[in-house]
Amino acid sequence: MPIDLSSIAQLVILIGIIVFISILFISMFSPAPFLPTNYKKVDLMIKEAHLMQTDTVFDLGSGDGRIVITAAEMGVKEAVGFEINPALNLFAKAWAKVMRLKNTNFITKSFWRADLAECNKLFLYLLPKTLDKLETKIIEEMHSGSRIISYKFKFKNLKLVKSLEKDEIYVYEV
Ligand SMILES: C[S@@+](CC[C@H](N)C(=O)[O-])C[C@H]1O[C@@H](n2cnc3c(N)ncnc32)[C@H](O)[C@@H]1O
């Protein structure tokens, strides 16, 4: 009996879509949930970062890649996203490819293993208990003059240089 290749291809694509949606769905309810920043806030955060062509940008927990892609579109040297959810990184990589962006990098590993000395602009939208722990890593690793933009939640000890209270955007410098 001949094998129907188009049916097999359809089945593989269907399984892929189901796995992708399942990972996204599970991530919504994980202890580190994927909640995307809305684009109005993304634009404000990018504005407050004072991006320059020489900048290396990190987004810790980059989700679907929207901050990394927006920063890359502004022409920074490199915009890097660290994300533990492989489905989200797959999506972000495909999106960057469609946008023909050469200055993005999406790394599927925990941001606890990132060397923050490699970036001078840092974006975060993470839970307060994670920010508390990250503070030490930021102070130890980031070079002086680096700028940090946190959405929704504040750091306790970093030097706050600007706060957009209504938009819940907090800007820090080390
Ligand atoms: C609130 S979402 C923010 C997504 C994106 N930065 C944005 O603003 O749209 C937090 C993301 O952090 C990711 N995340 C949580 N802990 C992580 C870790 N240790 N390493 C890498 N990514 C992590 C989650 O999977 C989730 O996608």
Average pLDDT over residues 45-60: 98
Nearest CA to ligand 1 atom 19: 110
Q: Is the pLDDT of residue 65 over 90?
A: yes
78 to each of 4, 27, 71, 119, 122, how far by Cα in Å?
Answer: 45, 27, 9, 9, 12
Q: How far apart are CA 96 and CA 163, in angstroms?
A: 30
Q: Is the CB of 34 under 6 A from ligand 1?
A: yes
Count of H helices and E strands in the chain? 5, 7
Written in H, E and C, the secondary structure of 80-137 is EEECCCHHHHHHHHHHHHHCCCCCEEEECCCHHHCCHHHCCEEEECCCHHHHHHHHHH
- Counting residues of the chain whose pLDDT is more than 70, the rounded percentage is 91
Residue 110 in tokens? 């925990």
Indicate if ligand 1 lies below 6 Å from the C-beta of 36: yes
- Residues near 52 by beta carbon (within 8 Å), at least 6 away in sequence: 76
Return the residue matching tokens 């490699």.
Answer: 118
| CA 88–ligand 1 middle distance (angstroms) | 10
**Residue 90 alpha carbon to ligand 1 centre in Å:** 14
Give the pLDDT of residue 8: 82
113-147 pLDDT, tens digit each: 999 999 999 999 999 999 999 999 999 999 999 99
Report the mean per-residue pLDDT for the chain: 92
d(CA 83, ligand 1 centre) in Å:
6
- pLDDT, average across residues 89-108: 97
The CA distance from 125 to 154, in Å, is 10
Looking at residue 165, what DSSP letter applies?
A: G
Instruction: Please tell me the distance from the alpha carbon of residue 140 to that of residue 121, in angstroms, as a whole number.
Output: 15
pLDDT tens for each residue of 5-51: 788 888 878 877 877 677 666 666 665 689 999 999 999 999 999 99
The answer for residues whose C-beta is within 8 angstroms of residue 166's C-beta and 6 or more apart is none
User: Does residue 62 register a pLDDT over 80?
Assistant: yes
Q: Residue of the nearest CA to atom 16 in ligand 1?
A: 32
Distance 5 CA to ligand 1 centre (A): 38
